[in-house]
């Protein structure tokens, strides 16, 4: 046997001493009263039998002891409890190509994306999340996890060197994201793909249709300005990237992202150039991913059983009995009948 709240045992141990002390004071009071009252009046003022009073004292003392003993929460034996955990699995695929360094979104597209993914992490609650970086190919930089501290650490390290160099391949990003998900749980899986766009070469649409067959919607998020091109900082940090003497300008290419969302039964969401509450990834997650079914996981846990009820019920019975045996209660009834 063990006790969850052992401090109450100290109070329980004091109850018998308090009962003995009360009995001692009562006996001394009765003797003092006998010495003060004349013999003809003793029969009326001093009861000849203290049966009810003694029983009442025992009931109250034992009742208090059991009540405090039960408050200590005695425990023994084991019980198995079943509970349900509800969770979703989300893969966030982030474009880390050099075009994501364009500064049409402050401080640049990639840093804005990382800030919004951090906001998304705050909205995950008990959901699990994986992180994929992609350029020419997709690379899983963080597996599915509910360890949000580890997820944030992986996010902070994202940069152009997180994936192999080359032209952006959206199809490879989708494939890597699908590989990070358990096919047995596709009814509660989703992918968030964040990019400034690209073409549909390779297997982008084919992989998007595969995601649809698996029941995994892809939410594509476009970042950047779709109307006006932005310069890409050069690799050496001096000026802008140039091709044949001309500055390279990149703008958000939405067509490919929209096509992927349609093909997978997902949704395309343009991320505004100004950070507002409605356009953060956390808001997108709350607004659009809630239709993704939450998995119900039946889990079982074994713990030591609480047995305080064994002592609490008798204590209540004894305390109620002690109250009913009150001489004052019966005396009041007797006067009423007279």
For residue 151, the model assigns a pLDDT of: 94
In this prediction, residue 164 has a pLDDT band, given cuts at 50, 70 and 90, of: very high
Please choose, from the candidates 297, 277, 292, the residue with its C-alpha nearest in 3D space to the C-alpha of residue 91: 292
Q: Who wins on pLDDT, 264 or 234?
A: 264
For residue 295, the model assigns a pLDDT of: 55
For 125-155, the pLDDT digits (tens) are 778 899 999 998 999 999 999 898 999 999 9
Segment 246-254 mean pLDDT: 85
- Whether 275 shows a pLDDT value over 60: the answer reads no
For residue 329, the model assigns a pLDDT of: 46
In this prediction, residue 198 has a pLDDT band, given cuts at 50, 70 and 90, of: confident
For residue 170, the model assigns a pLDDT of: 94
Q: What is the mean pLDDT of the chain?
A: 80
In the chain, where are the structural domains located?
2-73+308-337, 84-298
- Whether 13 shows a pLDDT value over 70: the answer reads yes
Segment 237-263 mean pLDDT: 84
- Whether 248 shows a pLDDT value over 60: the answer reads yes
- Whether 228 shows a pLDDT value over 70: the answer reads yes
Q: How far apart are CA 318 and CA 328, in angstroms?
A: 18
The single residue listed with the structure tokens 């690209």 is 198
Kind of pairing, strands 138-145 and 128-134?
Answer: antiparallel
Q: Which of 54-63, 111-120, 276-285, 292-301 has the highest mean pLDDT?
A: 111-120
Regarding the domain delimited by 84-298, which CATH topology (the fold level of the hierarchy) does it fall under? Rossmann fold (3.40.50)
For residue 141, the model assigns a pLDDT of: 95
For residue 338, the model assigns a pLDDT of: 43
CA angle 157, 163, 169 (to 5 degrees): 135
For residue 47, the model assigns a pLDDT of: 53
For residue 49, the model assigns a pLDDT of: 44
For residue 131, the model assigns a pLDDT of: 97
Please choose, from the candidates 101, 328, 329, the residue with its C-alpha nearest in 3D space to the C-alpha of residue 237: 101
Please choose, from the candidates 11, 27, 25, 155, the residue with its C-alpha nearest in 3D space to the C-alpha of residue 96: 155
In this prediction, residue 337 has a pLDDT band, given cuts at 50, 70 and 90, of: very low
Q: Who wins on pLDDT, 202 or 114?
A: 114
């Amino acid at each position: 046997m063990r006790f969850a709240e052992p401090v109450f045992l100290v109070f329980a141990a004091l109850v018998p001493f308090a009962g003995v002390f009360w009995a001692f004071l009562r006996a001394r009071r009765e003797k003092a009263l006998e010495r003060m009252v004349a013999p003809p009046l003793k029969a009326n003022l001093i009861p000849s039998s203290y049966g009810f009073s003694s029983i009442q004292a025992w009931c109250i003392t034992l009742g208090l002891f059991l009540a405090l003993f039960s408050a200590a929460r005695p425990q023994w034996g084991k019980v198995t409890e079943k509970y349900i955990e509800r969770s979703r699995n989300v893969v966030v695929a982030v474009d880390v190509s050099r075009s994501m360094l364009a500064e049409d979104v402050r401080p640049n597209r990639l840093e804005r994306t990382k800030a919004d993914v951090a906001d998304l992490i705050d909205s995950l609650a008990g959901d699990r999340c994986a992180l994929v970086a992609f350029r020419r190919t997709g690379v899983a930089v963080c597996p599915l996890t509910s360890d949000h501290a580890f997820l944030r650490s992986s996010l902070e390290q994202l940069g152009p060197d997180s994936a192999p160099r080359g032209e952006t391949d959206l199809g490879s990003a989708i494939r890597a994201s699908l590989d990070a998900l358990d096919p047995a749980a596709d009814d509660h899986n989703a992918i968030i793909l964040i990019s400034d766009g690209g073409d549909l070469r390779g297997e982008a649409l084919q992989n998007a249709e595969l995601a649809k067959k698996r029941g995994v919607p892809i939410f594509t998020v476009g970042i950047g300005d779709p109307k006006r091109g932005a310069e890409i900082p050069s690799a050496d940090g001096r000026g802008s990237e140039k091709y044949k003497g001309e500055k390279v300008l990149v703008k958000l290419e939405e067509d490919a992202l929209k096509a992927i969302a349609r093909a997978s039964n997902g949704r395309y969401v343009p991320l505004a150039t100004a950070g507002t509450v409605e356009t953060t990834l956390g808001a997108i997650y709350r607004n659009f991913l809630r239709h993704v079914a939450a998995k119900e996981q039946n889990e079982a846990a074994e713990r030591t059983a609480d047995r305080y009820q064994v002592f609490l019920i008798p204590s209540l019975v004894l305390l109620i009995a002690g109250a009913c045996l009150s001489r004052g209660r019966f005396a009041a009834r007797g006067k009423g009948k007279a």
